[in-house]
Amino acid sequence: MKKPTNRRQALQRMAALPLLSGTAFMNSGTAGEQTVREGRKNLKTSLNAYSFNRPLSDGTMSMDELLEFCSETGFEAVDITAYYFPGYPEVPSDEYLYNVKRKAFRLGLEISGTGVRNDFTHTDRAKREESIQLVKNWVIAAEKIGAPVLRVFAGHLDHPGYSWEAVSEWMIEDLKTCVEFGKQHGVMIGLQNHNGFLKTARQVKTILDAVNDEWFGLILDIGSYRRGNPFQEIADTIDYAVSWQLKEKMYVNDEEVDTDISRLIKIIKSSDYKGYIPIETLGPGDPKEKVRALFSEVKRALG
């Protein structure tokens, strides 16, 4: 889908502004800024459960407590990464899945997505078949809990003697298999750019364009475009986005910087994107405090 010329040009202007110049950006008065005054455009806040990776993994936080925290904080939705369901990578019982769905509903939360830990870079076809089956199993689980999208990875393995293009060929076919299965169950497949096999906007677009299916899109991870200007990379792939991982840190020329949330939200508002904006906090510190701080900043930017 091509973006109207004026909107596409506005995005490019926003992304091309000097990095870390929030004041100059907010006062620029560009066509893009005029566009974002239209409003929130049905953008919804969500929390990626990985923000609580340690307490969810060591059992000091339960799934119910995660959902209650999201509701109390004011999130509209939650992205419940599959790792935190009991028995992963196996899918839990229907009773457990439906209880999670019921609990979220009673707390006023939508389930914006879930995700698995797969790897389609394996040279061993049998290993890739395991990843395909993992995705299929969790597509069915996603359908049962009402999650519209299942997040998958490309992978992280390096294979001497295999070019990027060679690996991408079998990866594209594996993704097509997953997307076709997802389509049969009403669940989109979202590919996360995760600074592994996929490092640049060009690489992301190569895979997305090759699969070329309306049931397939990008989980746009803003912290994983680490070369050059990340805002340019985001603007270049935002048309493919079906969900996000909005983080408190980004990388400019491989250097970690604080995310300019205001600038990022302006770019999102000026695009055609509508839907969930899951946030994810990482690193040391109290995850509840970190999540609340980022949530407040995103809410202010959304208006």
pLDDT, tens digit, for every residue of 104-120?
A: 999 999 999 999 999 99
| Residue 4: pLDDT over 70 | no
What pLDDT, on the 0 to 100 scale, is given for residue 159? 82
Identify the pLDDT of residue 286: 97
> What pLDDT sits at residue 76?
99
Specify whether the CB–CB gap between 259 and 250 falls below 8 A.
Answer: yes
Write down the residue that tokens 């457990």 correspond to. Answer: 96
Which pLDDT score is estimated for 31? 39
What's domain 5-10+49-302's superfamily in CATH?
Divalent-metal-dependent TIM barrel enzymes (3.20.20.150)
pLDDT at 227 over 70: yes
As a whole number of angstroms, the distance between CA 172 and CA 6 comes to 32
Tokens matching residue 37: 């005054």
pLDDT at 284 over 50: yes
Q: Average pLDDT in the 268-293 region?
A: 97
pTM of the model: 0.88
Q: Kindly report the average pLDDT of the chain as a whole number.
A: 91
In this prediction, residue 15 carries a pLDDT of 66
pLDDT given at position 11: 63
pLDDT of residue 192: 98
Return the H-helix or E-strand segment holding 300: helix 287-302
Indicate the pLDDT class of residue 127, thresholds 50, 70 and 90: very high
CA pair distance 48, 168, nearest whole angstrom? 27
pLDDT at 100: 99
Average pLDDT of the segment spanning 193-206: 96
| pLDDT at residue 221, as a whole number | 98
**Cα–Cα distance measured from residue 270 to residue 247, given in angstroms and rounded to the nearest whole number:** 19
pLDDT per position as a tens digit, 78-103: 999 999 999 999 999 999 999 999 99
Q: Is the pLDDT of residue 134 over 60?
A: yes
Residues of the chain above pLDDT 70, percent = 87
Query: What pLDDT score does 128 carry?
Result: 97
* 143-186 confidence digits (pLDDT tens): 999 999 999 999 987 888 899 999 999 999 999 999 999 999 99
pLDDT above 70: residue 193 = yes
Under DSSP, the state recorded for 74 is T
24-52 pLDDT, tens digit each: 333 333 334 444 445 557 999 999 999 99
Question: CB–CB of 204/240 below 8 Å?
Answer: yes
Residue 258: pLDDT over 50: yes
Q: Residue 101 burial (CB < 10 Å; 0-12/13-18/19+)?
A: middle
Given this model, what pLDDT does residue 5 score?
47
